[in-house]
Amino acid sequence: MITINLLPAHRVRALRLRRRTRAWCLFGVAYILAIIALWSTYAAGSGVSTGMAEQISTAKTLLDSNERELEGLQKVLAEARNRVESAKAIVDHPDWSTLLEVLARTRGEDVALERLALAQRPDSVARPGDLPARGPWTLNVAGAAASHGAATQFVLRLERSGLFESVSLSETRERGGSGIAGTTALIDFTVVCTVPNRAPALPPPEGRP
């Protein structure tokens, strides 16, 4: 079974912002040292050339711009840290944002999702390395498709997503009435998916490498 890290997106953004903040701090310190060196040269001599004065002015302008951007990054980082702390407060409840993203990405225009039901399997037995109280889970997806083929293709796309241990089309029936995308009838369906303890790898969104 393929595995990946289902680290919530807000945590990934917080880590990236932290690295950027550190880089900007180092960049700002380097410019401050450069300005000090230039002013030391100015103080040691009787005057300063026009070119050096322009360099000092440019360095000051760039430093001010970097400081403003750094302040903005620090605010965003603080907000991200608050979200991380909130997530820690509910650590016993998994973050299912990745699962919802996969469902939205694989749905397609010929399928409408109407109900999702997620429950931990009663026969779950924890194995070494499994996260406690986090699976395996059973996800029931109920919806309507433009045809039996559309429902089947939705199941195949879920299987190819790599998120689920198993995916099965448990029920289909014709609803009738107005359909999807100009069709004259709807096919009600129910898909049962098993989410394992260890999260499998997710493929990149369509159109991305």
Lowest mean pLDDT among 33-47, 66-80, 163-177: 33-47
Do 104 and 191 lie in a common domain? yes
Using 50, 70 and 90 to split pLDDT, how confident is the model at 161? confident
Q: What is the domain extent for residue 21?
A: 9-89
Tokens standing for 7?
């680290």
Distance, in Å, from the CA atom of 179 to the CA atom of 109, rounded to the nearest integer, reads 12
Q: Is residue 17 part of a domain?
A: yes
Residue 111 domain-assigned (yes or no): yes
Residue ending a domain, choose from 67, 89, 111:
89
Does residue 103 lie in a domain region? yes
Residue 4 included in any domain: no
The reported pTM is 0.45
User: Which of 67-71, 147-151, 192-196 is predicted most confidently?
Assistant: 147-151
Q: What mean pLDDT value characterizes the chain?
A: 72
CATH label of the domain that carries residue 102: 3.30.1360
Averaged pLDDT, 4-29: 69
Q: Best-predicted range by mean pLDDT among 4-18, 112-126, 155-169?
A: 155-169
Residue at which a domain ends, from 65, 89, 113: 89
The total domain count for the chain is: 2
Q: Is residue 138 in a domain?
A: yes
Q: Are residues 121 and 168 in the same domain?
A: yes
Length of the chain: 209
Residue where a domain stops, chosen among 89, 122, 148: 89
Residues 161, 182: one domain?
Answer: yes
Q: Are residues 121 and 55 in the same domain?
A: no
* Model pLDDT for residues 39-57, shown as the tens digit of each residue: 666 655 545 566 667 777 7
Domain match, 187 and 123 both:
yes
Q: Are residues 132 and 185 in the same domain?
A: yes
Alpha helix (H) ranges present in the chain? 9-44, 50-89, 97-106, 148-161
- Say whether pLDDT at 32 is over 70: yes
Output the pLDDT for position 190.
94
105 and 42 within one domain = no
Q: Are 171 and 152 in contact (CB under 8 A)?
A: no
